[in-house]
C-alpha cells in the first residue's frame, strides 16, 4: 500500500485520526506522531515507495502520542512539533533533528469571507481563544477589518483535544503577544482551554471548522489549502500585515540559529522581520541512539536522507520550507550517535 494524499481523505479521517495509519505493512518503516507534517510525509513516502519499494507506516496521532511511542520504543521513530529539551533527550537516549518547516494559520468559517480577506493580530486572537471576544462584530475585530462585513454571530472556537506540537507553537505565539494568555492559560502541547470544542489532529480541527458556521480554529497551512479552508492574514511582530505562504514562512526562519539549542530545537514563532509569518514552526524527528532494531533505524535514516536530498520540490508544492543544506549537514553529523549493540553507527550519512 502506498500513501494517498487527498483533501477529501483528510476530512474523512477527522473522526479517527488517531488510527490514521499510512502504508501499513509488516516490513515498512514505522513512525508515529505529529499531524503537522502528515501531508509532506505522505507525499515523500509515496515517492520513496515507488523509487525503492520500501514503505512507511506513519501514524498521524499528534506530537504527544509520538513522544510516548518513541519513548516506549514501540515505533522506529517519533515525530513532534514541540522539540524535546536537552535533558529529556539525554534521559530517553534520543537523537532529535528537524525535517521541514511550515506555518500554522487561523482558519474561519464565515459566510462571504474569502481566504486572506480577514486580518487578525495576536492580541485579538488570544482574546478570542480565551473567550473574552465572543462575537464576530466585536469592536477589536471590526477595527482591524473596516472593509469586511462581519456577522453579529457568536464565535465558535475549535481547538486541539490531543497533545499537539501545533498547539504548542500556537500557544507559544499567543503567550509571546499576550501576557494574560501566558499567565492564565500557558504554553504547552496541551492546555486547559477556556472556551471551545476539541478535535483530534489538524485533520479534526479542519473538519470541525468546515462543518461549523462562524467558527475559528488553527491548522498547518497545507491542511487549509487542501481542504479549501478560509485562512486569515496576521499582523506580525513588526506590525506588518502578512499572508501565509512559503516566502513568509522562510522569512521567519532566516535568522534561526539551529545549533543554539539541543537537538536543533529552535522555536520560530513570533520572529522579527517585516515579511515574517508569526506562527511558523519546524517539525522534528526523534530516533533512539540505542535502537531496539539497528536495521530498522538504519532504514529510517535512509528514508530521511532521501527526503533531504530529493524532497524539496515536493515540500514546496505543499508550502513547507525545506531545511537549508547547511542545517542538513549538521543534522546528518548527529546520526553517528545512533548506534547498534556493537557500538558502531547504524548508518553512515553522506551528502
**pLDDT tens digits, one per residue of 57-112:** 999 999 999 999 999 999 999 999 999 999 999 999 999 999 999 999 999 999 99
What's the pLDDT band for 19 if we cut at 50, 70, 90?
very low
Residue 245 has pLDDT above 80, yes or no: yes
Instruction: Look up residue 139 and give its three cell numbers.
Output: 469592536
Q: Do domains 7-101+279-337 and 104-255 have the same CATH topology?
A: yes
Are 206 and 14 in contact, with CB atoms under 8 Å apart?
A: yes
Instruction: Give the model confidence (pLDDT) of 132-164 as tens digits.
Output: 999 999 999 999 999 999 999 999 999 999 999
Are 285 and 96 in contact, with CB atoms under 8 Å apart?
A: yes
- Domain limits of the chain? 7-101+279-337, 104-255
Q: How far apart are CA 164 and CA 104, in angstroms?
A: 12
Of 7-11, 105-109, 180-184, 208-212, least confident by mean pLDDT is 7-11
Q: What is the mean pLDDT of residues 243-264?
A: 94
Closest among 114, 116, 146, 98 to 248, alpha carbons compared: 116
Q: Which residues of 91-129 are buried (b: 16+ CB within 10 A; e: fewer)?
A: ebebbbbbbbbbbbbbbbbbeebebebbbbbbbbbbbbb
pLDDT computed for residue 28 by the predictor? 86
Handedness of CA 71, 77, 80, 85 (dihedral sign): positive
Q: How far apart are CA 151 and CA 79, in angstroms?
A: 39
Residue 6 has pLDDT above 50, yes or no: no
Are 238 and 232 in contact, with CB atoms under 8 Å apart?
A: no
Q: What percent of the chain has pLDDT over 90?
A: 90
pLDDT computed for residue 348 by the predictor? 82
In terms of CATH, what superfamily is 7-101+279-337?
Periplasmic binding protein-like II (3.40.190.10)
Are 99 and 283 in contact, with CB atoms under 8 Å apart?
A: yes
Q: What average pLDDT does the chain have? A: 92
pLDDT computed for residue 255 by the predictor? 83
User: Could you tell me where the DSSP H helices lie in 151-293?
Assistant: 165-177, 179-184, 201-211, 221-226, 246-253
Instruction: Give the model confidence (pLDDT) of 206-223 as tens digits.
Output: 999 999 999 999 999 999
Residue 324 has pLDDT above 50, yes or no: yes
Q: How far apart are CA 79 and CA 166, in angstroms?
A: 12
pLDDT computed for residue 27 by the predictor? 62
Residue 49 has pLDDT above 70, yes or no: yes
Closest among 252, 315, 258 to 279, alpha carbons compared: 252
- Return the SS3 of 213: coil
- The neighbouring-strand residues paired with 281 are 102
Fold for domain 104-255? D-Maltodextrin-Binding Protein; domain 2 (3.40.190)
Strands (E), the chain: 21-22, 29-33, 56-60, 77-80, 94-109, 119-120, 156-160, 197-199, 215-220, 230-231, 233-235, 241-242, 280-288, 321-322
pLDDT computed for residue 16 by the predictor? 32
pLDDT computed for residue 253 by the predictor? 94
Strands (E), 292-333: 321-322
Q: How far apart are CA 218 and CA 196, in angstroms?
A: 12
Amino acid at each position: 500500500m502506498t500513501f494517498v494524499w487527498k483533501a477529501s481523505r483528510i476530512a474523512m479521517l477527522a473522526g479517527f485520526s488517531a488510527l490514521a495509519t499510512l502504508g501499513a505493512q509488516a516490513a515498512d518503516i514505522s513512525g508515529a506522531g505529529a499531524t503537522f507534517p502528515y501531508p509532506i510525509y505522505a507525499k515523500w513516502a509515496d515517492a520513496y515507495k515507488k523509487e525503492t519499494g520500501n514503505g512507511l507506516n506513519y501514524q498521524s496521532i499528534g506530537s504527544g502520542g509520538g513522544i510516548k511511542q518513541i519513548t516506549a520504543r514501540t515505533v522506529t521513530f517519533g515525530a513532534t512539533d514541540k522539540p524535546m529539551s536537552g535533558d529529556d533527550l539525554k534521559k530517553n537516549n534520543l537523537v532529535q533533528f528537524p525535517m521541514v518547516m511550515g506555518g500554522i494559520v487561523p482558519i474561519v468559517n464565515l459566510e462571504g469571507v474569502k481566504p486572506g480577506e480577514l486580518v487578525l493580530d495576536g492580541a485579538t486572537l488570544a482574546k478570542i481563544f480565551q473567550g473574552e471576544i465572543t462575537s464576530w462584530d466585536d469592536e477589536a475585530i471590526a477595527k482591524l477589518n473596516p472593509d469586511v462585513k462581519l456577522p453579529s454571530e457568536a464565535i465558535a472556537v475549535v481547538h486541539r483535544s490531543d497533545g499537539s506540537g501545533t498547539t504548542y507553537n500556537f500557544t507559544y505565539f499567543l503567550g509571546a503577544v499576550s501576557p494574560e494568555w501566558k499567565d492564565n492559560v500557558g504554553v504547552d502541547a496541551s492546555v486547559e482551554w477556556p472556551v471551545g470544542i476539541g478535535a483530534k489532529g489538524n485533520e479534526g480541527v479542519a473538519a470541525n471548522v468546515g462543518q461549523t458556521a462562524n467558527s475559528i480554529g488553527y491548522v498547518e497551512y497545507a491542511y487549509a489549502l487542501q481542504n479549501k479552508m478560509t485562512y486569515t492574514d496576521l499582523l506580525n511582530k513588526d506590525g506588518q500585515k502578512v499572508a501565509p505562504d512559503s516566502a513568509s514562512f522562510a522569512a521567519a526562519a532566516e535568522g534561526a540559529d539551529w545549533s543554539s539549542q539541543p537537538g536543533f530545537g529552535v522555536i520560530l514563532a513570533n520572529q522579527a522581520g517585516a515579511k515574517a509569518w508569526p506562527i511558523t514552526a519546524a517539525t522534528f524527528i526523534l530516533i533512539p541512539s540505542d535502537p531496539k532494531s539497528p536495521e530498522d533505524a538504519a532504514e529510517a535514516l535512509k528514508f530521511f536522507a532521501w527526503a533531504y536530498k530529493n524532497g524539496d520540490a515536493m515540500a514546496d508544492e505543499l508550502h513547507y520550507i525545506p531545511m537549508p543544506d547547511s542545517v542538513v549537514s549538521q543534522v546528518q553529523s548527529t546520526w553517528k550517535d545512533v548506534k547498534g549493540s556493537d557500538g558502531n553507527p547504524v548508518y553512515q550519512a553522506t551528502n
